[in-house]
Structure 1
Amino acid sequence: MARGSSRETEMFTFFRVIVVSFLNHFYMLIHFVYILYSEQTDKYYIGQTEDLDRRLMEHNSHSYQDSYTKIASDWKMKINLKCSSKRQAIKIENHIKKNRSRKYVEDFIRFPEIGQNLLVKYLEENQ
């Protein structure tokens, strides 16, 4: 099978770099705020990450020995909120944590509009 011309190889490489750069940029922007619940301890945990599956596994396997979540191994994802950036996710995470109220966390889980309102409140242009 004949190889393509060097021009074709250059074009392929160029487009591959563009596509990979775009995907890396796109995926780096996506971040999540999440709330976990442990039935064992009857506690909630609020956090933010770019990879929900990995982070849940880390919580349940006690990857971080100084973490609050080491108190249980049965953490379940109750809700996650897709954010446009890490900065937005951190602001929303902090907002939820500052309320220090189990009722607020449970309302956040029960009423999705609370999360939607926080996404609007903490849009990048408002920061």
Structure 2
Amino acid sequence: MFYVYIIHSEKFDKYYVGSSQNPWKRIEKHNTSPFNTFTSKYRPWEIKAVFEAGTSRGQAEEIEKFIKKQKSKTILIKLIDQNFIPNGKLAQLVRVPHVRD
């Protein structure tokens, strides 16, 4: 399964959308990678939402790109809201608990 995730930097009030097979491990990389990337500039990051996005990397990346193309903080805040039900292009997203064992 591939996931789309939303992380937030409270210190800088920045959001980031990504996709991965393991978003819980991926956030560790966002917070510790020695490389100079967008996410390295706004550490620390915290997972705000995780969604099942499909069984292929392509499906997850398509949704990730769609969300990023919206260039909307509002849509990210809606997606983070537990009561929001995604529709349209995002209807296939299935929210998963972001706290893992």
Question: Which TM-score tier does this pair reach, normalised by the shorter chain?
Answer: 0.7 to 0.9
Q: Which residue of 2 aligns with 1:108?
A: 79
Q: 1:45 aligns with which of 9, 16, 26?
A: 16
Q: In structure 2, list runs of 5 or more residues that go unmatched.
A: 94-101
| Identity fraction in percent | 31
Structure ranking higher in helix proportion: 1
Q: Which residue of 2 aligns with 1:118?
A: 90
Q: Which aligned runs of 4 or more in structure 1 are off by greater than 3 angstroms?
A: none
Q: In structure 1, list runs of 5 or more residues that go unmatched.
A: 1-29, 122-127
Alignment of 1:1-127 (within 5 A): 30-61=1-32, 63=33, 65-84=35-54, 85-110=56-81, 111-114=83-86, 118-120=90-92
Structure with more relative contact order (C-alpha pairs < 8 Å, separation 6 or more): 2
Counterpart AA for 1:78: K
Secondary structure in 1 matching 2:3: strand
Aligned length: 91
CA positional deviation for 1:73: 2.4
Q: Encode CA deviations 1:51-108: one digit per residue, 9 max, x unaligned.
A: 11210100011x1623210113220000011122211100110110000011111112
Q: Encode CA deviations 1:31-64: one digit per residue, 9 max, x unaligned.
A: 1100000101100000001111210100011x16
Compute the RMSD of aligned alpha carbons: 2.1
Structure ranking higher in strand proportion: 2
TM-score, length basis structure 2: 0.79
CA 1:120/1:52 → structure 2, altered by over 3 Å: closer, same or farther? closer
